Amino acid sequence: MLMPSLQEILGEDHFVQKYSYQKDIRFLQLPDQKVVLKPKKRYDLETVYRYLQDHHVTSYVSPLAIEKNEVLFPYCEDALLTADEKAKKMLYTLSIWQNKTTTHQRLDIDEVKARYEMYRKKIADTNLYYHNLQDMIETKVYMAPSEYLLVRNSSLIYAALAYSQQALEEWYQRIQQKKSKRQVYCHGKCELSHFLGSDNGYFISLENAHLGDVWEDFACFYRQDFQQVDMISSFHFYQHKYPFTKEEQLALYVELSLPEIIDIYPSSLQKCQQLTKFIEYLMRTSEFLSEQQKKNQEH
């Protein structure tokens, strides 16, 4: 990618121009525009933008300059949208991105088996962790608040683990019959905070972009934004634009239903809040998966 240098855009005195900070991001006001200067977190970032250009993807904020340690972007205002409105716009933009970058690759059976074994071990380890933790807690006369909260909602955890195991087995049975699979160029950090709803919609923060499975970006979005977005209607909308195969749906369901391992110690208000969010995730995901199963049965 041929582009001007930082010095050419900002001038010799750019370090003394008017600016403000947000974490490690610097906002600079130039005479003719406002720009954003961010640290470069990926050594081959140029290849990401070249790949998107080659596939005629335009739904991202293109850098003005890329240096060894910094990247300069034009400043873009976000649109005033509700979380649901922004989610629909982001998923619509993502579907266009995915349609333009979809590729079919020959299925590697050894890779499939390795993924199956990885998930099976993860499910077993998570199941053992929570059973051991619950057994230890139930020996106590007095439970700490975080302990009581966990034990009271343990059935949600075990139900999620059972579902993830069931979905994994069905996925493994089906995928072994296939000869190829779809892949797309994933954003890698797909969530509302990394999307601008202005104009036609723009993704930002492409440091984790990579060629991967079609369900990865939605899984990332779901885990990050499940509290503020109606995921059932969002997924239904998304599937109209970029439908998943049955195998891709099952892979997504395994990823979403598998509970994370939560450390509840030392018991504190912060730990209880973290655990409450975890329990809410399990409840909402159970509703989401039940709705998808109902739709599949209708079809």
The mean per-residue pLDDT over the stretch 280-285 comes to: 98
Q: Is the pLDDT of residue 16 over 50?
A: no
Cβ of 94: how many Cβ atoms within 10 Å?
24
- Full-model pTM: 0.90
**Mean pLDDT over the full length of the chain:** 91
Q: CA-CA distance, 75 to 262, in Å (whole number)?
A: 38
Cβ of 292: how many Cβ atoms within 10 Å?
18
Beta bridge partners of 73: 36
CA atoms in the 13 A half-sphere facing the CB of 186: 19
Closest CA to 44 of 6, 3, 1: 1
DSSP E strand stretches across 75-225: 103-106, 180-186, 195-196, 202-203, 210-212
The mean per-residue pLDDT over the stretch 141-161 comes to: 95
pLDDT, tens digit, for every residue of 87-104? 999 999 999 999 999 999
The mean per-residue pLDDT over the stretch 175-192 comes to: 95
The mean per-residue pLDDT over the stretch 9-34 comes to: 68
SS3 257: helix
Closest CA to 107 of 175, 172, 171, 173: 175
Distance of CA 53 to the CA centre of its chain: 23
- Give the per-residue pLDDT at 31: 77
Q: Is the pLDDT of residue 30 over 90?
A: no
- Give the per-residue pLDDT at 226: 97
Helix spans in 12-108 (H): 45-54, 83-101
Pairing relationship of beta strands 195-196 and 202-203 according to DSSP bridges: antiparallel
pLDDT, tens digit, for every residue of 249-273? 999 999 999 999 999 999 999 999 9
The mean per-residue pLDDT over the stretch 269-298 comes to: 92
